[in-house]
């Protein structure tokens, strides 16, 4: 793999790990220092690897450089070192060179702690999720803006205020008490959900599927199941949802890397082990008294993972979408419900409901209408596909839309 491809990938997987470890070491109010050290580490990688060969173990190289840069920073900045010494454990307080533990267990513990630090109620909820996506998931500003259907200026302001809150409140990096942990869990799950979605349907890169982001989201969710206070029905249902979606990874892309629509996927490529795990976690999630959005979405994904035709499948899916929209409305869920409606009541009924959504700025909306009008009104189908083509942000989306246009 070339340096220009490797560094962005490592940034996604390793940036958050080093940040979390340094924040656990220094305290959350020194987040900017941790960010600066990690950014300098990756900057050195891009400069060095471009001139020399890529090291045999790039991750170990990054960890070593990050450790050295941290120690150099503490040596140069005695005032900072004195402030931080109160945060360090007794065994490290006053030490000239504190231990910087980038072992697997400490990385996992640090990331779990940081999830709950940035999802502290002192920080506004949207800023919580945005900061978590930035710090713990390595999202760029464009990716966060896309996830919130917002713009870069708004996201930058949110992140600035969130970092300021961390400095002012000096939020502890210790895991919160069980009751408080439960109160923060909703924002944590939203973060993991958005991370998986960005990997499953990439919005800002010319790659329709980024498995490493999906795997990272599943890993973070699995962390939560290992802690008694966060092993809850919604956490189980979210992991179930992700297992069901991940089971169809290999069928979503063809040999040329092009997106394969659901109806055209080769069912034999679906991963039976992940479907079984999805079933297991869905059953585990049924122990609660209330259904969350993740329960309903996992149930929808369950029906989509049935390899053979099942009578009443689309009626069940439509009913679940109706319940999901009553519980928590979202434009994407409304669009997906309209497709399910077309499978149950026909295209005419679906077109009427789809046009009432008026999501004219979304290429997904026009792609759906293009699909619904196909076979009903070819002119309108082409018109909507042309609009979708203009609005699409990735090459893969445009390629799929062009295939539909040519088929017309």
- The pLDDT tens digits of the residues spanning 67-120 come to 999 988 888 887 666 666 655 544 454 455 667 889 988 998 898 888 888 888
42 and 2, same structural domain?
yes
User: Mean pLDDT, to the nearest integer, of 1-22?
Assistant: 84
pLDDT band at 3 (very low <50, low <70, confident <90, very high): low
155-181 residue pLDDT tens? 999 899 888 888 888 888 888 887 777
Q: What does each C-alpha distance from 37 to 66, 92, 114, 275 come to in angstroms?
A: 7, 20, 17, 41
The answer to whether residue 143 sits within a structural domain is: no
Strand locations in 111-259 (E):
none
Assess whether 44 and 118 both reside in one domain: no
**8 Å CB contact between 232 and 208:** no
Angle at 335 between CA 137 and CA 147, to 5 degrees: 20
357 and 391 within one domain: yes
Summarize the confidence of residues 248-263 as an average pLDDT.
83
Provide the domain limits for residue 393: 313-408
On whether both 239 and 346 belong to a single domain, the answer is no
- Asked whether residue 251 falls in the same domain as residue 327, the answer is no
Same domain, 189 and 325: no
323 and 237 inside one domain: no
For residue 91, what pLDDT is reported?
Answer: 43
Split into its structural domains, the chain has a count of 3
The answer to whether residue 197 is domain-embedded is yes
Please tell me whether residues 335 and 217 are part of one structural domain: no
pLDDT digits (tens, 9 = 90+) for 203-236: 555 555 678 778 878 988 998 998 887 899 999 9
Per-residue model confidence (pLDDT) at position 89: 47
Do 118 and 250 lie in one domain? The reply is yes
Q: Which of 235, 270, 286 is the last residue of a domain?
A: 286
Asked if 277 and 327 sit in the same domain, the reply is no
Instruction: Judge if 269 and 340 occupy the same domain.
Output: no
In angstroms, rounded to a whole number, what is the distance separating the alpha carbons of residues 320 and 309? 18
pLDDT at 93: 45
What's the confidence (pLDDT) of residue 247? 96
Q: CB of 401 within 8 A of CB of 371?
A: no
- Is residue 228 assigned to a domain? yes
pLDDT at 92: 52
Q: How confident is the model at residue 328 (pLDDT cuts 50, 70, 90)?
A: very high
Q: Say which CATH number the domain at 385 has.
A: 1.25.40.10
Kindly report the pTM of this predicted structure. Answer: 0.78
pLDDT in the model for residue 97: 61
Please tell me whether residues 253 and 202 are part of one structural domain. Answer: yes
The yes-or-no verdict on residue 299 having pLDDT over 50 is: yes
Q: Per the domain annotation, does 38 fall within a domain?
A: yes
CB 182 within 8 Å of CB 228: no
Residue 253 three-state SS: strand
The domain boundary, picked from 267, 286, 305, lies at: 286
């Amino acid at each position: 793999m070339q340096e220009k491809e490797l560094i962005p990938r490592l940034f996604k997987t390793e940036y958050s790990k080093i940040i979390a470890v340094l924040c656990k070491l220094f305290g959350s109010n020194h987040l900017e220092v941790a960010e600066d050290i990690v950014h300098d580490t990756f900057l050195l990688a891009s400069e060095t690897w471009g001139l020399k060969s890529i090291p045999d173990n790039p991750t170990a190289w990054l960890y070593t450089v990050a450790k050295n840069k941290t120690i150099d920073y503490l040596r140069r900045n005695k005032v900072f070192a004195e402030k931080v010494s109160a945060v360090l454990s007794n065994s490290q307080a006053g030490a000239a060179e504190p231990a910087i533990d980038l072992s697997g267990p400490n990385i996992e513990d640090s990331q779990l702690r940081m999830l709950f630090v940035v999802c502290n109620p002192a920080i506004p909820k949207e800023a919580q999720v945005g900061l978590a996506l930035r710090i713990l998931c390595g999202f760029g500003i464009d990716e966060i803006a896309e996830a919130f259907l917002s713009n870069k200026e708004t996201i930058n302001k949110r992140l600035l205020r969130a970092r300021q809150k961390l400095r002012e409140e000096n939020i502890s990096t210790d895991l919160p008490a069980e009751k408080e942990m439960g109160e923060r869990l909703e924002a944590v799950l939203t973060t993991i959900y958005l991370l998986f979605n960005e990997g499953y349907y990439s919005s800002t890169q010319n790659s329709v599927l980024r498995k490493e982001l999906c795997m990272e989201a599943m890993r973070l969710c699995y962390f939560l199941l290992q802690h008694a206070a966060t092993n809850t029905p919604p956490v189980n249902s979210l992991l179930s949802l992700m297992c069901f979606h991940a089971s169809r990874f290999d069928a979503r892309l063809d040999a040329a890397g092009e997106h394969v629509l659901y109806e055209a996927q080769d069912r034999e490529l679906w991963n039976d082990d992940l479907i079984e795990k999805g079933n297991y976690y869905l059953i585990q999630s049924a122990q609660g008294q209330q259904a969350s959005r993740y329960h309903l979405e996992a149930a929808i994904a369950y029906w989509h993972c049935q390899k053979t035709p099942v009578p009443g499948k689309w009626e069940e899916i439509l009913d679940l979408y109706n319940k999901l929209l009553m519980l928590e409305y979202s434009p994407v869920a409304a669009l997906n419900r309209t497709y399910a409606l077309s499978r149950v009541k026909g295209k005419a009924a679906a077109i009427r409901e789809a046009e009432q959504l008026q999501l004219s700025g979304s290429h997904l909306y026009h792609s759906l209408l293009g699909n619904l009008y196909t076979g009903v009104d070819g002119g309108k189908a082409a018109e909507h596909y042309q609009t979708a083509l203009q609005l699409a942000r990735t090459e893969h989306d445009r390629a799929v839309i062009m295939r539909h246009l040519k088929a017309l």
